[in-house]
Each structure stands twice: as structure tokens, then as C-alpha cells.
Amino acid sequence: DSGVTQTPKHLITATGQRVTLRCSPRSGDLSVYWYQQSLDQGLQFLIQYYNGEERAKGNILERFSAQQFPDLHSELNLSSLELGDSALYFCASSLGQGSSYEQYFGPGTRLTVT
């Protein structure tokens, strides 16, 4: 158990809908990262927040957005969902924002868009 929690574990929704995925980092960690893992694309970095501020952006679609709240939990919002958005979404946390800090992954949220 990494100490990173994600809810929900599974989510099934229809195309065009909007969903919110939630992540609570390990106690004391200030950075939160979001990743998408699909069968054809592998693991893709989406976005990073550090202490409430966006720090890095990867391959995140405009239909997706995220934020980190004052209590350091983070939410990933996915809107106008398409079948191709079906994937496993991971959140990871680390103490700092730099590459020297190890990232700890949560168990993931499996999103199925039908």
C-alpha cells in the first residue's frame, strides 16, 4: 500500500458524459501527478500539481482538467467523454516537485466509456 488513495476504483459511463476522479496523496507529499494508461498508448503523463499550482503538463486533452485543493487532494475532470478515453487513470504523489523525488502510485481508477 503506497498511501495514495484514489476513488472510485471503477467507473462506467456513457459517451458525452463528464466524470471526476479523486486522489489523496500520501501524508506530507506536496506534488500530485496524473497518468493515463491504455492498452494502445501505454502509460502517459497528463499533468502535475505542486502545493496547489500546476507545475507540468503532458499529453492532456483540452476536454480534461485538473486541480489541487488546499488540503492537497486533487481531482481530474474528464468531460465530453469518448470511447477512446476508456483507460486506467493513476494518480501519484511525491514530497517535492523535482525529479529527485520518488513518486508513489495509487491503485488507479478504471474508467469505461460505453
Site of interaction with other proteins (CB under 8 A): 2, 33, 42-45, 48, 55-58, 90, 97-100, 102-108
The least distance separating other proteins from the CB of residue 1, rounded to whole angstroms, comes to 10
Q: Which residue has the cell 481508477?
A: 109
Cβ-based nearer residue to other proteins, 19 or 36: 36
Cβ-based nearer residue to other proteins, 16 or 96: 96
Q: Which residue has the cell 501524508?
A: 27
Cβ-based nearer residue to other proteins, 23 or 81: 23
Q: Count Cβ neighbours within 10 Å for each residue of 45-81 and write b for 16 or more, e otherwise.
A: bbbbbbeeeeeeeeebeeebebebeeebebbbebeeb
The least distance separating other proteins from the CB of residue 77, rounded to whole angstroms, comes to 21
Cβ-based nearer residue to other proteins, 53 or 82: 53
Closest CA to 54 of 39, 64, 65: 65
The least distance separating other proteins from the CB of residue 14, rounded to whole angstroms, comes to 26
Grouping H, G, I as helix, E, B as strand and the rest as coil, residue 25 is coil
